[in-house]
Amino acid sequence: MTRTDGYLLDNGRAEAAERFDAFATLFDPTTFRHVQALGVGPGWRCWEVGAGGTSVVSWLAKRVGPTGRVLATDIDTSRVAPAGRPPVEVRVHDVGAEEPPGDGFDLVHARLVLVHVPDRERALRSMIGALRPGGRLLVEDADPALQPLLCPDEHGPEQQLANRLRHGFRHLLSQRGADLSYGRRLPRLLREAGLRRVEADAYFPVASPACAALESATVRHIRDELVSAGVASHDDIDRHLANVASGDMDLATAPMISAWGRKA
């Protein structure tokens, strides 16, 4: 998901591709497991909200086949555009500010999107409104406040520096309007919106090489913002990046909470 009005992690930077690859490695298995359990199959009409990259869109396209449809939307579609061939349609769309790009969808899915959308309530209403009766909604979002540390085992100066930078990153996200406690509220929000059979779970990766890849790309992406905010010096950041590259630290990401339900 890309925002042009203050979003900290836009798709236009070179590090975005590395971040999308890391997200795919970390979270695609969880997403695919949930979508498969929801029954997606040939002929389904799916809306992938804030698609970002191509991994989920391409997987959905294989599941729905030539008789189905996958609509992939984002504010910046540059990274998902290569997937734009039947049954996939790619369209520029802001879920938090525009009307739904269609209706009658069997599945609407958003991953790591709504936490960054200023008008999350409107976005969620839009997604639910686009479902057919009986259609499934799957929303997956991070909850950085639930586990705020990059290094849960803070046993030395390298881990302390890492957690200081992570704290600064979270502060920058908050300043840009991100809701760092959004993930935990998803089950209640889906029930209050009238969805039935609401369930949820969480995935919390620790000590994965993809966590290190994500951290390196993220810190390089926001290096100037961290320095400008007084969180760290360039020397601090260079030292942290070297520590990450060494492979000697156990790095974690924020828990990703997946919540799903059916429209009445």
**What's the rounded Cα separation, in Å, for the pair 170 and 160?**
15
149, amino acid identity: L
- Using an 8 Å Cβ cutoff, are 90 and 108 in contact? no
> Is residue 137's pLDDT more than 70?
yes
pTM, entire model = 0.94
Per DSSP, helices labelled H in 50-137 are 55-64, 120-129
- Using an 8 Å Cβ cutoff, are 147 and 255 in contact? yes
Could you read off the pLDDT of 238-259 as tens digits, one per residue? 999 999 999 999 999 999 999 9
Tell me the pairing of strands 69-74 and 88-92: parallel
| Per-residue model confidence (pLDDT) at position 5 | 44
- pLDDT tier for residue 6 given thresholds of 50, 70 and 90: low
The structure tokens 């992939």 sit at 72
Q: Can you tell me the mean pLDDT for 94-118?
A: 96
| Per-residue model confidence (pLDDT) at position 13 | 81
| Per-residue model confidence (pLDDT) at position 149 | 96
| Per-residue model confidence (pLDDT) at position 3 | 39
| Per-residue model confidence (pLDDT) at position 72 | 98
> Is residue 1's pLDDT more than 50?
no
Taking residue 3's Cβ as centre, other Cβ atoms within 10 Å add up to 20
Q: Hey, what are 68's tokens?
A: 């189905």
In this structure, of 4-18, 89-103, 111-125, 162-176, the range with the lowest mean pLDDT score is 4-18
> Is residue 4's pLDDT more than 70?
no
CA neighbor of 253 nearest in space, from 207, 200, 184: 207
> Is residue 10's pLDDT more than 80?
no
Q: Can you tell me the mean pLDDT for 74-90?
A: 96
- The count of residues in the chain is 264
> Is residue 178's pLDDT more than 70?
yes
| For the chain, percent of residues with pLDDT exceeding 90 | 94
Sign for the CA dihedral angle at 193, 199, 205, 209 comes to negative
Taking residue 100's Cβ as centre, other Cβ atoms within 10 Å add up to 21
- Using an 8 Å Cβ cutoff, are 261 and 190 in contact? yes
| Per-residue model confidence (pLDDT) at position 117 | 93
Q: Which long-range contacts (CB under 8 A, 24 or more apart) does 79-83 make?
A: 79/11, 79/16, 79/17, 79/20, 79/52, 79/53, 79/54, 80/51, 80/52, 80/53, 80/54, 82/54, 83/54, 83/57, 83/58
Tell me the pairing of strands 45-49 and 105-111: parallel
Q: Which residues contact 191 (CB under 8 A, 6 or more apart)?
A: 198, 261
Q: Hey, what are 236's tokens?
A: 């601090």
